[in-house]
Structure 1
Amino acid sequence: MATTDRQATALALAHALSAAERGLAVLPLSRTKLPALRSPHRDGPAPGRPPCHGECGRFGHGVYDASTDPARIRELFAAAPRATGYGIACGLPPYHLIGVDLDTKAGTNAPAALRELAVRHRFTLPATVVVVTPSGGRHLWLSGPPDAVVPNSAGRLAPGIDIRGAGGYLVGPGSRTAHGTYATAPGTAHLAPAPCPPPLLRLLLPPPRTPRRALPQGAGRHGHGLVQFVLGAHEGQRNTRLFWAACRAYENGTGPALHGPLLDAALTTGLPEHEARATLTSAARLTGHHP
């Protein structure tokens, strides 16, 4: 291994140990910002068994390897001699870290979008740790309450704003990647992650699940299939799936009966209620029915 690689690994380990002293759980990363240790279960879990999150006792489970124990951290880096950076696991005590990743890709202005959200929802971003990425982006570190599980998301709040929550990690300052080095913004290195403003936290948490309405009699297997089709939608296809299912329901004469179950299914996938209702209304009108 080249001397520069050994130096990069030693420097990454030093930064990781320093972060661990602050109570942050860390894991080694490669130059690609991915976990540096390969999974011992590359062929997938054994049939009938859930995925392993480190219960096997071996390294290579991504963010589940993260630790604040100096001895374990040294073992992790010894097993990953090509690591040039480290990741900081989110969602763990004592900070229950939430990372707000403000990207700078062409066509997006994530900082402006975040400021607009702050004005619209009436919150102020507190002084907190800010990490500058090699591309000029910003990672804001916020602390969440222990009973709130913030999920990871990409672009859900606004284009260019990604969220790192439970099960995710942030690239730690001092890490070297193929595109450059991550560094703490001037004047923020001494800060602790500030509490996430409650209005922002509400935006980050998934919408509460609504009880699913039972399918009305007469909806049959076709109605059940349409509801399941909507429930299987991922972000970016929820509106399209709801519209298609609603059109089919109205064409088959079950539109009014399935309005409630389809609405519940759309809300379960995270589609805003006003948007879901508008989509159902459009489907009814397109097929010649009254909403």
Structure 2
Amino acid sequence: MATTDRQATTLALAHALSAAERGLAVIPLSRTKLPALRSPHRDETGPGLGPTRRCRGECGRFGHGVHDASTDPTRIRELFAAALRATGYGIACGLPPHHLIGVDLDMKTTDDSSAALRELALRHLFTIPATVVVLTPSGGRHLWLSGPPDVVVPNSASRLAPGIDIRGAGGYLVGPGSRTDHGTYTAAPGTAHLALAACPPALLRLLLPPPRAHHPTPPPAGGHEQGHGHGQGLVQFVLAAHEGQRNTRLFWAACRAYEEGIGPALAGPLMEAALNTGLSEREARATIASAARMTGHHP
């Protein structure tokens, strides 16, 4: 390996260890921004084997992409020792304690995507808080935000607006200091040491999967306010949740309820709906309480 490559790997490791000190789980990346360690299952054959095998590191070997991510300095050094050509590092999104969400403003349409984000903020009445911003070699920007622990933000490309990609659970962001084929990622001046700002509740709702069409059932005779109109629709939205989206749907519905002034009245029906989908009472209470706090209410 060339001396410059060794230096790049050493520097990437140093940056990765620094990120880990802030509670950010990291993996080594190559110059192509892809995980630097190849899958240990790439040559395996047979049903359920090969590169698409659904092993997420249970086998104990390295090479499972974002599932290798760690904040443990010893494990990080082992990862980089195995990734001799790593020149950068990736930061896993969605993991505790920060539950990182990345707002990626595309380099080809940075001005347009920045304007689109500002327009969304004006339309939905939120502001983008001061937080860590990473500049990409080609002129794009990554905004780092933290999310609540009981909500899964999915990855998406241009769903929020053209040129705005979201890095959520199962995704990763290229960390500042990483060297790629196109240049080096750097922290925007004055943002490197900022704490990760919480994702504004109104923006967080936009990042969650949109509600599916539903057909609200008629309210029972003598029903209360929560049995009518939009409140009943929110309850139906929670009831339609499948495994893997129950917390997310409950959080989304509870946020809407609190922001529309029916949160306290709808908390009970939302709780009952969540229990019917298989959530535990503890999980449901925590999610509704989180929605109340995120929207400025006391649960």
TM over 0.5: yes
The one-letter amino acid of 1:40's match is: P
8 Å contact from structure 1 (residues 89, 169) kept in 2: yes
- List per-residue Cα deviations over 1:152-178 (Å, max 9, x = no partner): 000001111000000000000000000
Q: Distance in 1 between matches of 2:79 and 2:95?
A: 19
Deviation at 1:46, TM superposition (A): 4.9
Q: Distance in 1 between matches of 2:150 and 2:115?
A: 30
Corresponding residue number in structure 2 for 1:195: 198
8 Å contact from structure 2 (residues 30, 36) kept in 1: yes
8 Å contact from structure 2 (residues 110, 140) kept in 1: no
8 Å contact from structure 1 (residues 108, 159) kept in 2: no
- List per-residue Cα deviations over 1:226-282 (Å, max 9, x = no partner): xxxxxxxxxxxxxxxxxxxxxxxxxxxxxxxxxxxxxxxxxxxxxxxxxxxxxxxxx
TM-score by length of 1: 0.70
Q: Distance in 2 between matches of 1:122 and 1:57?
A: 46
Q: Distance in 1 between matches of 2:122 and 2:4?
A: 46
8 Å contact from structure 1 (residues 154, 163) kept in 2: yes
Q: Distance in 1 between matches of 2:122 and 2:109?
A: 24
Q: Distance in 1 between matches of 2:128 and 2:48?
A: 46
Deviation at 1:207, TM superposition (A): 2.3
Pairs within 5 Å for 1:1-291: 1-43=1-43, 46-47=46-47, 51-105=54-108, 109-209=112-212
The answer for unaligned runs of 5 or more in structure 1 is 214-291
Deviating runs (4+, > 3 A) in structure 1?
A: 43-46, 208-213
Deviation at 1:109, TM superposition (A): 1.3
Deviation at 1:208, TM superposition (A): 3.8
Q: Distance in 1 between matches of 2:69 and 2:11?
A: 18
Q: Distance in 1 between matches of 2:72 and 2:203?
A: 32
Q: Secondary structure at the match of 1:63?
A: helix
Q: Distance in 2 between matches of 1:107 and 1:92?
A: 27
Q: Secondary structure at the match of 1:105?
A: helix
8 Å contact from structure 1 (residues 31, 85) kept in 2: yes
Deviation at 1:8, TM superposition (A): 0.2
Corresponding residue number in structure 1 for 2:284: none
Q: Distance in 2 between matches of 1:107 and 1:152?
A: 19
Q: CA 1:126/1:107 → structure 2, altered by over 3 Å: closer, same or farther?
A: closer
The one-letter amino acid of 2:20's match is: A
Give RMSD over aligned pairs: 1.9
Compare CA radii of gyration and give the structure with the larger one: 1
- List per-residue Cα deviations over 1:80-122 (Å, max 9, x = no partner): 0100000000000000000000012159711011001101111
Deviation at 1:75, TM superposition (A): 0.3
8 Å contact from structure 1 (residues 54, 65) kept in 2: yes
Q: Distance in 2 between matches of 1:59 and 1:73?
A: 11
TM-score by length of 2: 0.68
Deviation at 1:146, TM superposition (A): 0.4
Deviation at 1:210, TM superposition (A): 5.6
8 Å contact from structure 1 (residues 131, 139) kept in 2: yes
Deviation at 1:31, TM superposition (A): 0.2
